[in-house]
């Protein structure tokens, strides 16, 4: 089967449609996303596109590339829909949406180039429905855009590699694309992009003892293109920050993650392998079952290329101290392609009894994850809201039979059919989560509810919310960059100094300290409403009250 432009366009459209559910209505989904959104918004408001900031603090974690993309998409949305979109989540998520739309057909193209069109389509499907890819593609964070950039790097490397295999010259545009993609990756995430960018050719050199094809990428002058992309901004931020950016971004953020687990994310080696069952579900079991076939085919040039893509990146992020599931996301397209090849292009090899036992154990774990995935939304909705959602129940009713169908097919050794059933279950379950569950989880949607109440009761157009008990970045994004995140005593002082246009958000556990501090200013306050809920970042129950001077 040969794929043409129409196939890739339809794949991109399918990826676009599957990434849309809930995008307009979902609140900020984790703590990082509102930080990206708020920093991008502040870029637009301040017209400072060099020095990235969250409120009045510099955000020196990575270069400005992702903030430029989010600011650009939001600026276009603002011109069309007006300034109110600056407080909406969806404009900032557009870069991730379009990145996901391109990633899926590009994965299919790489798979088709290596093993044929049917393998490319299967690989695209496995990646498109994987848990981690779906989650990241719905958020305004860097990871989906970075994945697209790394895919472009690997695609350029593949072109040069295939040209070597077929003894034909490599076009100049391939080399230019490779070095420009490396430069763009440096603008997105800094030196991290060099791990796959240089790790793949180095691993191939180690496996083949041949580096002659590397010259096809014109390294003698190509690195100048890479540097040209990033140097202007580097010079500008060095001047503006007085050297602080590189001290924080490289010294503390990048190198610090290697030696120490940052932000309570320090975990031992093996973490990424442990969470792979969920992160790549439903493809994780089929990836495990593919290992014997991959080992048997390991000397094939195509397999060597994909292993050289996966292994260096995976090993690096297993060995560094700080670990988060999305760190190995750039390896997932290559894993999907190898898995798809085992399902479509290669015969199933015979495995020893002990291997069958291990696969059986992993299959039980995979089944448990799948069943939990189907039930999770409805259970969470009932536990937190004491209600059910019709759309969530429909998703449960649609996904559960497909999971059981996949299990039945696996027992009959019909892996390809089982993979189709599992992918269908994942699509339905994801739709139920994003359309029927997450938008209805009011208990953990504290920031949107606070912002709505604040907008209703604010005494001035430029009113400031002073929050002493709840300091989530999503609150700053939804309420405004002037939000004050200070303690109860400081909140009382601020309220005294700005009595006319300020409101205080206080939890009942902090009210005694706040009330005691108010006595120093001979002030009395009146309540404008209470909000009860759960802070999902730490699991604490909060009873928040908005107060203003009487």
Please report the domains of the chain, with CATH numbers, ordered by start residue: 5-344 (no CATH), 353-440 (no CATH), 443-549 (3.40.190)
Dist. CA 276–CA 131, nearest whole Å: 10
pLDDT for position 461: 87
Helix (H) or strand (E) holding 467: strand 464-467
Angle, helices 301-319 vs 143-165, to 10°: value is 150
**Nearest CA to 113 among 174, 185, 172?**
174
How does pLDDT run across 339-377, given as a tens digit for each residue? Answer: 999 999 999 999 999 999 999 999 999 999 999 989 998
Give CA separation, 376 vs 25, 367, 372, 418, 434, in Å.
20, 14, 5, 22, 12
Give the pLDDT of residue 264.
47
In this structure, the number of other CB atoms found within 10 A of the CB of residue 426 comes to: 27
Residue 252's pLDDT is what? 61
Q: What integer pLDDT is reported at residue 427 of this predicted model?
A: 95
CB under 8 Å to 186, separation ≥6 — which residues?
A: 63, 193, 194, 226, 229, 230
CA distance to 100, 172, 198, 223, per residue, from 419 (Å): 21, 39, 33, 42
Q: Can you give the pLDDT at residue 44?
A: 94
Task: Compute the half-sphere exposure of residue 175: CA atoms within 13 Å on the CB side of its CA.
Answer: 17
d(CA 373, CA 308): 32
Residues of the chain with pLDDT under 50: 259, 261, 264
Q: Residue 520's pLDDT is what?
A: 84
């Amino acid at each position: 089967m040969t794929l043409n432009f129409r196939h890739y366009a339809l794949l991109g459209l399918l990826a676009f449609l599957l990434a849309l559910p809930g995008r307009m209505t979902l609140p900020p989904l984790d703590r990082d996303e509102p930080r990206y959104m708020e920093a991008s918004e502040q870029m637009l408001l301040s017209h400072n596109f060099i020095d990235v900031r969250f409120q009045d603090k510099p955000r020196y974690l990575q270069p400005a590339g992702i903030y430029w993309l989010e600011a650009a998409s939001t600026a276009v949305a603002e011109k069309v829909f007006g300034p109110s979109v600056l407080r909406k989540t969806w404009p900032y998520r557009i870069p991730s949406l379009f990145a996901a739309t391109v990633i899926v057909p590009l994965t299919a193209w790489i798979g088709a180039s290596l093993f044929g069109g049917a393998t490319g389509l299967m690989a695209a499907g496995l990646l498109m429905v994987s848990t981690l890819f779906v989650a990241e593609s719905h958020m305004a964070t860097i990871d989906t855009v970075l994945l697209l950039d790394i895919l472009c790097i690997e695609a350029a490397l593949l072109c040069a590699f295939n040209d070597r295999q077929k003894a034909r010259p490599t076009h100049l545009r391939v080399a230019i694309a490779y070095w420009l993609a490396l430069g763009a990756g440096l603008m997105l995430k800094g030196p991290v992009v060099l791990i796959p960018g240089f790790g793949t050719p180095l691993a191939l050199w180690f496996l083949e003892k041949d580096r002659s094809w590397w010259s096809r990428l014109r390294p003698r002058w190509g690195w100048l293109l890479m540097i040209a992309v990033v140097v202007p901004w580097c010079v500008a931020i060095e001047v503006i920050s007085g050297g602080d950016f590189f001290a924080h971004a490289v010294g503390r953020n990048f190198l610090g993650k290697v030696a120490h687990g940052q932000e309570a994310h320090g975990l031992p080696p093996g973490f990424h392998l442990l969470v792979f069952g969920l992160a790549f579900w439903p493809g994780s079991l089929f990836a495990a079952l593919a290992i014997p076939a991959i080992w048997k085919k390991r000397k094939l040039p195509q397999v060597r290329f994909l292993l050289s893509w996966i292994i260096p990146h995976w090993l690096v992020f297993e060995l560094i101290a700080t670990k988060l599931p999305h760190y190995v996301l750039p390896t997932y397209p290559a894993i999907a392609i190898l898995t798809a090849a085992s399902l479509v292009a290669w015969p199933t090899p015979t495995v020893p009894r002990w291997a069958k036992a291990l696969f059986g154990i992993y299959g039980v774990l995979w089944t448990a994850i799948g069943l939990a995935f189907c039930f999770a939304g409805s259970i969470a909705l009932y536990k937190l809201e004491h209600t059910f959602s019709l759309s969530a129940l429909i998703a449960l009713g649609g996904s559960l039979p497909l999971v059981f169908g996949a299990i039945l097919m696996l027992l009959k050794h019909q892996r390809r059919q089982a993979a189709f059933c599992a992918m269908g279950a994942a699509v339905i379950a994801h739709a139920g989560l994003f359309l029927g569950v997450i938008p209805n989880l009011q208990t953990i949607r504290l920031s949107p509810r606070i912002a709505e109440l604040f907008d209703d009761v604010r005494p001035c157009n430029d009113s400031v919310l002073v929050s002493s008990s709840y300091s989530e970045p999503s609150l700053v994004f939804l309420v405004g960059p002037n939000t004050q995140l200070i303690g109860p005593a400081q909140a009382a002082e601020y309220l005294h100094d700005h009595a006319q246009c300020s409101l205080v958000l206080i939890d009942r556990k902090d009210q005694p300290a706040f009330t005691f501090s108010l006595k120093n200013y001979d002030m009395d306050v009146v309540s404008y409403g209470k909000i009860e809920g759960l802070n999902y970042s730490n699991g604490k129950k909060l009873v928040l009250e908005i107060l203003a001077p009487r």
